[in-house]
Amino acid sequence: MKVYIRNKLLSLGGGSDVLDENQQPVFHVKGRAVSVTRVKYVCDMQGNRLFKIRNKWLNFFVHKAYIYDGTGTKIATVKDKWFNVHSEYFVTGYADEIKVQGKFFGLNCQILRNGDVIGTIRRQITFIRDAFELDAEPQDLPFLIALVIAIDNITDKKHD
């Protein structure tokens, strides 16, 4: 299933729309208006929080973001490497080994779980806002949307 994650043009907290192939909303990403750690929430269409994403407060060489479940329990840490030649991101603390390889701000990258491809992220070319196409199985979508938001937070923090 393909979904499109598009940062809103006018959003104080950095929210995003998550649309299906028919341009119908399937998830909401809400951000806080004032947040040093770029806190964002992935919510279902009823407004229930599925995941919370936030950056690490201080980053020196390795940039990190944390993913929490709907109850506030940390379930994963997303990080890059200090010397990141291959533009890879790693997920630690999660039940499975998750790795994102390829240039996130290039045209596409793959999400691997235990060495198998479970999703593809393609950057949509826009000049006004960040937009991504995520292709994955429906049962994996909520977590993978949170993963895309976490990596986007990390790259935004690195470039600020």
pLDDT tens digits, 6-33:
876 655 556 788 999 999 999 999 887 6
Q: Give the pLDDT of residue 9.
A: 60
pTM of the model: 0.87
3-state secondary structure of 155: helix
Domains of the chain: 2-159 (2.40.160.200)
Q: Give the pLDDT of residue 20.
A: 95
Q: Give the pLDDT of residue 16.
A: 86
Beta-carbon contacts of residue 107 (< 8 Å; ≥ 6 apart): 122, 123
Query: For residues 31 and 150, is the Cβ–Cβ distance under 8 A?
Result: no
Q: Give the pLDDT of residue 107.
A: 73
Residues with pLDDT less than 50, the chain: none
Beta bridge partners of 78: 65, 91
**CA 51, CA 148: separation in Å to the nearest integer?**
12
CA atoms within 13 A on the CB side of 50: 20
